Copies of this chain bind each other. A is one copy, B any other.
Amino acid sequence: MQVSSCNISDCFLCSSCLPEWKALVEVKKTTLRFKKGAQIFGEGGKVTGIYFLYSGSVKVHKEWGEQKELIIRFAKKGDILGHRGMGSDPIYPISATALEDVKLCFIDNAFWEATMKSNHALTHKLVQFYAVELQQAEKRMRNLALMEVNARIADALLEMKEIWGVNSEGYISVPVARRDIAAYAGTIYETVFKFLSELTQKKIIATSGKSIRIIDEEKLKQHIKTKKSIG
């Protein structure tokens, strides 16, 4: 973990019209770096501050027991991490792990709290940000409960494309292990494997190791159906 100057041109808040935020981060020129696979913070750990993802991609996940995890969301550069810890209980309810090498801006608690008190625009923006996060969490809740497994996997692919975009060859920019896709879709590795094979055979997607290219987005979307008469 090195510390260096933080270029914030891509940060969530400042890029969304908040010069105050730029000023904030320039006061705290703290950049943390983590290697691919490293844990940025862990469920149950003490909340020490809030992170802004400057570059790289991250999975935010929640464990249950030893071998079970659910990936709550994927984060890309510009996203905020650790804001779930701002409730009354200063313990992280989730973990964040780097999927690629990442660079983050770190703002410690005291500084962040002080800034929120003095900077209305920032706080107001933050409220909006939370509202959007909450909407997404609830949409995902519905998907996990109401969609069939294959639909959830298809949805995961589309989400990843949406979040990270594609590279020059059309592959989703961040390669993700099948195990992680499973952990995101709430299913097991084998099921993901079989469905991706099927999609490849039907030429709806193409894979190259962990890289995935969506060939026929329309057909992929047709797999997204709800199941049964819940409720």
Contacts and interface: CB of A to CB of B under 8 A. Distances in A.
Main SS of chain A's interface residues? helix
A188 B134 CA distance: 25
Contact of A70 (B94, B186, B231): B231
Residue of A131, A133, A188 ringed by the most chain B CB atoms within 10 A? A131
Count of this chain's copies in the oligomeric assembly: 2
B133 A88 contact: no
Nearest to A147: B64
B141 A228 contact: no
A65 B109 CA distance: 43
A230 B187 contact: yes
Interface stretch (A116-124, A160-168, A210-218): A116-124
Interface residues of A, number: 53
B116 A117 contact: no
B138 A229 contact: no
A113 B88 CA distance: 24
Contact of A93 (B64, B72, B138): B138
Interface stretch (A20-28, A29-37, A78-86, A201-209): A78-86
Interface in A80-104: 83-88, 93-94
